[in-house]
Structure 1
Amino acid sequence: MNEAMLTVAVTGQILIHGPLDLHGEGQAEVQDFLEADVVFGNLEATVETAGAWPTKTKTLHLASPDALISIRELGFHAVTHANNHAFDLGPPGIASTRAAVEAAGLKLAGSGGDIEQAAAPVIVPGPEQSLAIFSVDLGPQPDINYASTERGGIAPLRMKRTVSVPAEEFETLKRIVVTLGDDKRGAARAAVGYDAGERPELEVFGTPVAAGDAIGVRWTADETDMQRLVDGIDAAKAIGDLVAVALHGHHWDSNWKTTPDWLLDLCRGLIDCGADLVLGTGAPVMQPLILYRGRVIIAGLGNFVFHTGRPATYDEKHVDVWRSAAIRLTLADDGTCKRLELLPISVGRPVDHDLPLGPVPLQGSDADDIRERAFGGLSAADRQVVF
């Protein structure tokens, strides 16, 4: 008896404003590569919404409904939406984006009218097995962006940083906080409910600090957010779905091509909790992928479409935002990866006139560079699934 397989294609973030020109041979090659049972990527935009106003004073990324039709025409079945641009127009933008996504024939995970809807996975059926896709944001973001029982927003998996310092430095920092009166002000706010949750022994300018043997840092996920996600994964696995978790975050390493160790630990932990695939976006450049327990962790896939308003700045600073990859996986019924294919791509970029071109395959040394970046850290055993 042949083992059931599910093909899944994923891409980097889709930061899109308007529809794409998909008529070229290169765009057709990308469409062909994305032919899979399930295709999804991160929609880092909010659909234009009449009567809504911006929730920020800096960069907005607003997409037209026609832009979503382009995404569907490329072969996508679903988009994830827990990211820093999903709330650009507040709850009205959250609602209109879901409506426009569904009107375009897509499914949306990661944002909604309340936390229940935002945290729920979308289920995309395959020939014999379905994929449950969860979408969460790691921060840092204002709490207002995150959905609650009373408010629309995005689904959180908030990461908290605790800094450790040796005892002598700890006492110095504590003396500074006491002298400034920050400890008493914080206690007074907590007493009347302004600051909820457990307070650390020492908080310096908003950062928890602990005594330790050396200067260091520890990252932990918010317990409530993590339990919500794990409960969702358990429920999906109980009915036989495979599970993908899409992460979006802005706690980047100083070298954007490097994945922070704590993020890889988080991804491995999600695999241990039942996820079969982890897809990360946030930093606008591609990072290496790894395999863990036979499952693929794509911690940073950069961009797929990148309609930034600052293309010249990225070019001047030599930030590699215009090269990435699409990845197609063949998953066994237990979630392990049996085949991994990668198509290096030139990212769709903004233009001054006409429709921006959709992504096209990279060629030559550019393609070789992306393959090496993606696979450079894989062991010989892990490379056996790469085709």
Structure 2
Amino acid sequence: MITLVLGGDVNLQARATPATAFERLEPLLKGADLRFVNLEGPLSGTAGDGDIPHKPNWRHSAPEMVEALTAAGIDVVSCANNVTYPAAAAMASLAVLDRAGIAHCGAGANRDAAHAPAVLERGGQKVAFLAYTSLCWPVGQAAQATSPGVAQAFATTSYQPDPRVIDIPGRPPLVRTAPVPEHLERLVADVRQARAGNDHVVVSMHWGLPGPDLTEYQVAYGRAAIDAGADLVAGHGPHSIQAVEVYRGRPILYSLGNLVFDWPAMRGRHLDGLLAGCMLGDEPRLELIPVRRNADNECEPLAGEEAGKVLRYVADLSALRGTTVTVRDGIASVVVGT
């Protein structure tokens, strides 16, 4: 049995003592065999004048911020997201992670490297982590056959007229999305290959829109990953908590929200997130613990009625996906493996 704790989006910036970034979460992290988060921001250093041309208020993180991850015992991170850009920043950040001994997935020197799993072994069992982003700059970010970048799982968007527009002019169209076929095929092939060589497979997806509503492509990619052999899918990117769905006995965590998040533009916004505690093995289990960034922007576990409110929200969203989430004493339990 492998115990795994997964968190959502993590951004680390301008901390005088980065080693304390996760200290309020330490009791929830230290007992796990493996700890995973999405690293939302390269550890490449900043030029200070807009590190991403199309995102002018963005600043990359200083390499020394990696101390936050090492102090918290983070074992593996996803680098597949919309701010792992440009390629030089992505590669510089991977080098920082390598020197710190932190495994990574979802970005690399070429397409095969970006799609390769990070494999970690605990107790004689191998867990493969794969990571993809559906949120991606269309030029120069996705890894190519001979150039660096991220592993892409993009989607197409179309607009269908509302069925009642013929009698009620002005009704907004329905937004339809679907995975890009070749990206879906590659993801499925990656998962199958990882499953063939390892005991467990975890798929990380950076996707979705802010708020509670899921896009069609999220459901399509998530279920395809499970069909191909993934033990669970961990989503992030919307900066909002979204539903949990148990599909074929395996959980899809559509969005874990934010965890430690220092980007100044996010101060006071999207404060809530989830830590997911999973047991992988013959008797899988899934528990969710709510966290929130406080007035000092430090992330800490919630308790009491505030924890209950967040978890009941998760339960209500998950019920719409046919999944039962049981809330008790600040912890949510999800029945999986049946």
What range is the shorter-chain TM-score in? 0.7 to 0.9
1:111 aligned residue: 107
Shift of 1:65: 2.1
1:341-380 CA-partner distances (Å, limit 9, x unpaired): 222212378x6xxxx74x2212332211221122333468
The 2-side partners of 1:380 and 1:54 are apart by 41
The 2-side partners of 1:380 and 1:216 are apart by 25
**1:228 maps onto 2:177 in alignment:** no
Q: Does the 8 Å CA contact 1:49/1:92 hold for their aligned counterparts?
A: no
1:286-339 CA-partner distances (Å, limit 9, x unpaired): 112121122111111110011122246xx4xxx5x1121211111225xxx632
What TM-score do you get using the length of structure 2 for normalisation? 0.83
1:218-261 CA-partner distances (Å, limit 9, x unpaired): 32212222222211111111123311111112x516xx133234
**1:363 maps onto 2:303 in alignment:** yes
Shift of 1:137: 0.8
Secondary structure of 1:11's counterpart equals strand
The 1-side partners of 2:286 and 2:27 are apart by 16
User: What is the aligned counterpart of 2:66 among 54, 65, 68?
Assistant: 68
User: What is the aligned counterpart of 2:206 among 220, 227, 248?
Assistant: 248
The 1-side partners of 2:334 and 2:14 are apart by 34
The 1-side partners of 2:157 and 2:136 are apart by 11
Q: Aligned partner of 2:78: which letter?
A: T
Larger radius of gyration: 1
1:257 aligned residue: 212
The 2-side partners of 1:91 and 1:261 are apart by 29
Structure number with greater CO (CA < 8 Å, separation at least 6) is: 1
Q: Does the 8 Å CA contact 1:304/1:348 hold for their aligned counterparts?
A: no
Shift of 1:135: 0.8
The 2-side partners of 1:137 and 1:54 are apart by 19
Q: Provide the identity percentage.
A: 23
Q: Aligned partner of 1:322: which letter?
A: L
The 2-side partners of 1:59 and 1:51 are apart by 12
2:279 aligned residue: 330
1:179 aligned residue: none
Q: Decide whether aligned partners of structure 1 residues 348 and 226 sit closer, same or farther in structure 2, where only a CA change above 3 A counts.
A: farther
1:299 aligned residue: 254
What stretches of structure 2 of length at least 5 have no aligned partner?
Answer: 166-171, 327-331
Q: Does the 8 Å CA contact 1:82/1:135 hold for their aligned counterparts?
A: yes
Q: Does the 8 Å CA contact 2:159/2:174 hold for their aligned counterparts?
A: yes
Q: Aligned partner of 1:15: which letter?
A: N
The 1-side partners of 2:294 and 2:197 are apart by 38
Shift of 1:36: 1.3
1:79 aligned residue: 77
Shift of 1:277: 0.8
User: What is the aligned counterpart of 1:277 among 220, 232, 238?
Assistant: 232
The 2-side partners of 1:276 and 1:62 are apart by 32
Shift of 1:112: 1.2
The 2-side partners of 1:380 and 1:84 are apart by 30
The 1-side partners of 2:141 and 2:197 are apart by 31
1:128-157 CA-partner distances (Å, limit 9, x unpaired): 322111111113522311110232111101
1:4-56 CA-partner distances (Å, limit 9, x unpaired): x11111001002114456659xx555212113122111001012348898341
1:166-225 CA-partner distances (Å, limit 9, x unpaired): 99x9xxxxxxxxxxxxxxxxxxxxxxxxxxxxxxxxxxxxxxxxxxxx954432212222
User: What is the aligned counterpart of 1:32 among 7, 22, 27?
Assistant: 27
Q: Decide whether aligned partners of structure 1 residues 61 and 245 sit closer, same or farther in structure 2, where only a CA change above 3 A counts.
A: farther
Q: Does the 8 Å CA contact 2:130/2:203 hold for their aligned counterparts?
A: yes
RMSD over aligned Cα, in angstroms? 3.0
1:89-144 CA-partner distances (Å, limit 9, x unpaired): x2221111001111122011111111111111101212132211111111352231
Secondary structure of 1:368's counterpart equals helix
The 1-side partners of 2:188 and 2:180 are apart by 12
Q: Does the 8 Å CA contact 2:157/2:176 hold for their aligned counterparts?
A: yes
Q: Does the 8 Å CA contact 2:127/2:199 hold for their aligned counterparts?
A: yes
Q: Does the 8 Å CA contact 2:11/2:39 hold for their aligned counterparts?
A: yes
Q: Decide whether aligned partners of structure 1 residues 116 and 348 sit closer, same or farther in structure 2, where only a CA change above 3 A counts.
A: farther
Q: Decide whether aligned partners of structure 1 residues 21 and 93 sit closer, same or farther in structure 2, where only a CA change above 3 A counts.
A: closer
The 1-side partners of 2:325 and 2:301 are apart by 24
Q: Does the 8 Å CA contact 1:47/1:63 hold for their aligned counterparts?
A: yes
- State the number of aligned residues: 316
